[in-house]
Structure 1
Amino acid sequence: MIGITRTNSVKHLANLYSIADVFVNPTVEDNYSTTNLETIASGTPVITYKTGGSPESAVLFGTTVKENTVENIIDKIAGLRPIPDKRGCVTKDKIIEQYLNYY
């Protein structure tokens, strides 16, 4: 039996996030979606509902839909334009700077 370690699963998820064109997270319950943050850290934009902490994470590299419907998500996907490669644009220092500017 081959076991899957946490390290392997994290690398697998990071690979999936990074090869995606967009990550859709239609959550209405997450307080602050770590899947959004993981996806953004991989350089993939997020489309999510405007609930919980999702708008704060999506503002870094992604967008939210105004009303929580699948149709609105489809419209956002259809309206996507090519996004320049922004891998590495989300760093600890940049996030700290954004928070300090915000407050």
Structure 2
Amino acid sequence: MKRAPTASESRHMGRVAALGCVVCRNLGFGETPAQVHHIREGVGAAQRAPNWLTIPLCPMHHTGPLGYHALRAAAFERMYGATELDLLSQTLEELYGDRK
């Protein structure tokens, strides 16, 4: 049974989505509306990563024909030049990198 996100997880995922698609920004397309993608690295086929391990992807880069779920990891990485962990690191740096 899937549990509801905690308040802090919900805030974090809201901040992730508010960044706009990380792939679109990396490609120079600017800010595009994003959905939260739970990274697949290190989780089983039927499992979901924790809510803290999320990146912002627009519908095309998330579930569209050029998205992570359609292409799968290897093809997505080749097409966009970054792994999910690269994009997670970038996302966390953008959100929390200036904190002391």
Quick check: TM above 0.5?
Answer: no
Task: Name the larger-Rg structure.
Answer: 1
Scaled by the length of structure 2, the TM-score of the pair is 0.31
Query: Which structure has the higher relative contact order (CA within 8 Å, separation 6+)?
Result: 2
Scaled by the length of structure 1, the TM-score of the pair is 0.30
